[in-house]
Amino acid sequence: MGGTVIIYSSFAGKTRKIAKYLAEKLGADIFDLKLQTNIDLSTYDRIIIGTGVHAGNPYGRVTRFVEDHEDIFLDKEVVLFVSCMYSGERAEKQCSEIAKEYHINNAVFFSIRGEKNEA
């Protein structure tokens, strides 16, 4: 048992870039929830969750994954990173609110702004 896993969902690619960078630096396994949702978390000590934000809410894939695995998170170190359009205090507040929604006590704040999606 041991190691780190990064689980994320990305829309425009910013969250994916962050997740891949972290995976490379930490030697972590990485899973994109668009491609795979059946992930065995039992072999990992640390779980890093990454999400972007749309209309003030974390991506639904990530929320569903967290809800489905909440009991497993109790015995793990869980870290959250959020990629959003805001910066500074507003971004920190949004990250904090998402962490609270996910029942994650040790969220990490990254002030990395995404690009505006005109779609």
d(CA 9, CA 39): 14
Ranking 22-31, 81-90, 110-119 by mean pLDDT, the lowest is: 110-119
Residue 2 contacts residue 27 (beta carbons within 8 Å): no
pTM over 0.85: no
Residue of 101, 12, 109, 111 whose CA lies nearest to 54: 12
Given this model, what pLDDT does residue 86 score? 65
| CATH class label, 3-51+58-89+98-111 | alpha beta
In the chain, what are the domain boundaries?
Answer: 3-51+58-89+98-111
Looking at every residue in the chain, the average pLDDT score rounds to 83
3-state secondary structure of 119: coil
Q: How confident is the model at residue 56 (pLDDT cuts 50, 70, 90)?
A: confident
Mean pLDDT, residues 67-86: 82
Given this model, what pLDDT does residue 118 score? 46
Given this model, what pLDDT does residue 117 score? 47
